[in-house]
Amino acid sequence: MRYLPELFAANARWSDDMRAADPDFFAGLAALQSPAYLWIGCSDSRVPANQITGLRPGEVFVHRNVANLMVHTDLNCLSVMHYAIDVLKVQHIIVCGHYGCGGVRAALEGPALGLIDNWLRHIQDARDRHRDFLNALPDDATRWRAMCEINVIEQVRNVARTTLVADAWKRGQALVLHGWIYGLQDGRLHDLQTALKSGPELDLVIDQAVQAVQSRYLNVQET
Ligand code: CO
């Protein structure tokens, strides 16, 4: 093995360990995957979906991109969602952002990085929608932290607005959307209270989630 032998050695050890614990583990997975969750997360190397949720191979279907965005014209994300909803029949879609997201910070700071600025433009659209709230915050660090949360909520809104999710709900398929955020500092997940089970509750749930973020940050500022 010429390249990256340490990774192949680690893989061999992992495979052996898994089979020692459960000789049929890989055979079962090779025959079928039936994950209950679709994870839409950031590509950031510090936020691996399986490890931080304690889920094993086969238990979570994963899509990751810079800053965990659901862009309505992104055929990649839409295809992942289509397969997850229509074929795998996942019961939960989790949009998971994280504090300290470089993509969110770059979007707040403005264009500077090149091609990726076009991708981050979608976060800036969300930022502009919440401009008054963000401007009321005391400093850039607080704005960055708050925007990481707001971005998750806006992406849950985008997921809910896809024809894929709307059609699933229309035909009575059980599907719950969630917005979570992960702390790089302590490895803990936090629920941003966006649990959505149907189209009609979309605006109310998203508005309440946004208001919860706003009151949390603005109250902290007053004390
Ligand atoms: Co990130």
Q: Is 145 a catalytic residue?
A: no
All domains of the chain, ordered by start, with CATH? 1-32 (no CATH), 33-222 (3.40.1050.10)
C-alpha angle 122/125/129, rounded to 5°? 145
Question: Are the CB atoms for 108 and 127 separated by under 8 Å?
Answer: yes
In whole angstroms, what separates CA 8 from the centre of its chain? Answer: 29
What are 126-163's pLDDT values in tens digits? 999 999 999 999 999 999 999 999 999 999 999 999 99
pLDDT above 70 for 221 = no
**What is the 60 CA–ligand 1 centroid distance (Å)?**
19
Question: What is the model's pLDDT at position 220?
Answer: 66
Over residues 186-191, the mean pLDDT reads 98
Does residue 27 come out as left (phi exceeding 0), alpha (psi in the -120 to 50 range) or beta?
alpha
* 3-state helix/strand/coil string of the chain: CCCCHHHHHHHHHHHHHHHHHCCCHHHHHHHCCCCCEEEEEECCCCCCHHHHHCCCCCCEEEEEECCCCCCCCCHHHHHHHHHHHHHCCCCEEEEEEECCCHHHHHHHHCCCCCCHHHHHHHHHHHHHHCHHHHHCCCCHHHHHHHHHHHHHHHHHHHHHCCHHHHHHHHCCCCCEEEEEEECCCCCCEEECCCCECCHHHHHHHHHHHHHHHHHHHHHHHHC
The answer on pLDDT for 223 being more than 60 is no
Decide if 72 contacts 127 (C-beta within 8 A).
no
* Residue in the structure block whose two tokens are 């930022």: 127
Active site residue 46: yes
Per DSSP, what are the bridge partners of residue 182? Answer: 98, 189
Distance of CA 5 from the midpoint of ligand 1 (Å): 29
Residue 1 has pLDDT above 90, yes or no: no
What's the gap in Å between 125 CA and the centre of ligand 1? 17
Kindly name the residue from 98, 122, 130, 178 that is annotated as catalytic.
98
Residue 148 is a catalytic residue? no
Give the Å distance between the CA of 27 and the centre of ligand 1: 34
Provide the whole-model pTM: 0.95
Residue 198 has pLDDT above 70, yes or no: yes
